[in-house]
Amino acid sequence: MVPVLSGNRTEDNPPINQAIQTEESYFFSFELRLFLFTPIGGYMAKKILIVDDEPHIRILMEQTLEELEDEGVELLTAINGEDALNTIKAEKPELVFLDVMMPKMSGFEVCNAVKNELGIKDVYIIMLTAKGQEFDKQKGSDSGADLYMTKPFDPDEVLEKSMEILGID
């Protein structure tokens, strides 16, 4: 009998234990796990990064987007620009809600680093900020932001836009 290579131990999971009776069924089970849990099969948890130095804004955004967790979306948070940049590099979120005025690095600096310096083009960045002047919107666009939304924001609009970007019906 070939041992199970996943983190699930067969004695802890009776359905898997029953399915793994022969080497053939083991390989089927292993292939199914590859399909479900790796990029080979196309399934990876989609990720949204919420970046804001204000705790109440992060909490409001998490509450706004929490129903997406039922769709397999993972919500990540960062409290400053430097933390955001490190999280983007490590976690590769599909969508980032990025505040502008933050400690360590501004949202403009983070966006510019991600889109222009690092060349990470497959992350959709929404600047979500109280800075709603045309000059600020242009600066967001110049830094590589995909969309610019101002606070206070409409939670329904944030959820709808997130679903659209992530391809969730």
Outline where DSSP puts E strands in the chain. Answer: 47-51, 74-78, 95-98, 124-129, 147-150
**What local confidence, expressed as pLDDT, does residue 129 receive?**
85
Smallest Cα–Cα separation from 64: which of 91, 100, 111, 97?
97
Query: pTM for this one?
Result: 0.74
Superfamily of domain 47-166: Response regulator (3.40.50.2300)
- For range 120-136, the mean pLDDT: 90
pLDDT digits (tens, 9 = 90+) for 4-63: 333 433 344 444 434 444 444 434 433 434 344 444 344 568 999 999 999 999 999 999
Provide the Cα torsion 55, 63, 150, 112; round to 10°: 70
Report the side by side order of strands in the sheet with 74-78.
Answer: 74-78, 47-51, 95-98, 124-129, 147-150
Phi, psi of 129, rounded to the nearest 5 degrees: -150, 160
CATH 3.40.50.2300 residue spans of the chain: 47-166
User: What is the average pLDDT value for the chain, to the nearest integer?
Assistant: 80
Task: Say which range, 9-13, 84-88, 91-95, 142-146, has the weakest mean pLDDT.
Answer: 9-13
Contacts of 151 (CB under 8 A, 6+ apart): 57, 128, 129, 130
Cis ω for the linkage preceding 39 (within 30 of 0): no
Q: Which residue has the tokens 């606070």?
A: 151
Report whether 142 contacts 111 (CB < 8 A). Answer: no
